[in-house]
Structure 1
Amino acid sequence: MIRLTTRKLLMPALLAIAIAPLSLAASAAPGDESRHPWNERHQEQRQALYERAGIDEATRAALEEAHAEHREAQRELREQHHERVNDILGEEQHEALKAAMREMHEERHAERRQAMQERLDALIDSWGLDEAERQALHDAREAMMADARELRDQEFDNREDRRAAWLEIRDEHRAALAEILTDEQLAELREIMKSPHAHHKGHHQEPHGGHHAPEHQANDDA
């Protein structure tokens, strides 16, 4: 019973590694979408691509202008679509639709979380950890969750500072796990976090419901 309880306490910590990027994005204040870290990363990738292809500065500027026009056109289309939907639906229907969407999202999230937990259960059981090692994992989980709660309550000047603070917590948690798990176990943990269909070798049973893990799981943050 103690082993089962400890394992269940560990699961939210491992899941937190996977879902934290979404939490950070959701907590960031709305603003210029072009300043979003994802868009900045895409911009860097485009520039690297231009550099490799030998695209001159004038052509790059024209391409960037085309990208900007495309984003603006998409924004206008979204606004027109929202206005059209509001014209079609009454206020009561609109609220009912939003409520149904929230329920479906919560159901899918619960299913994905359950599927991930089952994969993690199988992986951790396959390691054959002793009680001291499981307790150490639990303690690492408690420390990380405490730091995450403290971070959530802090105010930051910008999303970059918040992300930097999260990355520091993540790195500290990785270091704590590295003192408990072997390099092979850490690699298996990262693999199962970044792939919705990844299974520990020797465990071929399909996760409950066969649902995908959340699309927002960052491959490099596990």
Structure 2
Amino acid sequence: MLAGILALVFLSRRPVKVESVKEIKTKDKNDFLMGVRHIGEIVPVEFIRDGMYVSGGKYCCMARIEGTNFSVMSESQQNAQESALIGILNRIDFPVQFITTSVVADTAHMARVVASTAKNMPEGNLKTYAALYASALDAMRTEKQILAQHSYIILTDDGADPVAALKEKMKILYELLRPAGVMLTPLTSEADVMDVFASILMPEVIIRPSEMLEAGSTEELHVNAKELVAGAV
């Protein structure tokens, strides 16, 4: 007990070092850099073309799955559909990974269309209603009022010609699933694939990577030497 009191007295009498402004800036900068991570660390993939990418040494491609709504089917119809799907899956002789994620329903495009139409309307109740409707649609997205579930499949290949092999696998799946009422839509752009990754890794973020790409986030950024020096201080 006595030792503890003496230690507190000793520590309270130690001179307190006052950090200079430069030291504080350097510390803040180092703390910031420690928290910065390259996008490759978060999503460790390398995009090739047509939405295909390499991950873990394997070539991969992704497709969205849309099918029949089981909630509107009778029990016998559900059983028949399930049996058909099980039979189809048993015929597939290559790995297929299934992913389901919840995403915020994108009402932004429709909100822009309604808002643009409202601007060209004559003054009156209809114009006021259209403007309010556009605001409500935009709020649905920003406040995450409506969520939707999307399902995807991922195919992989590490053979001699993985690009051709993946296209062939996707074709086989498409032809097998179509008679069962399951539609397969391959994701053929980097932006579409990144949107899926974002919905899985950052479901709370509303802005999609595809929107950032459209805004020019991958364009070159030009700075001069003075700006670099000023930013480093």
Indicate whether the TM-score tops 0.5. Answer: no
TM-score by length of 1: 0.21
Q: Is the helix fraction higher in 1 or 2?
A: 1
Bigger proportion of residues as strand: 2
**Higher Cα radius of gyration:** 2
- TM-score when scaled to structure 2? 0.21
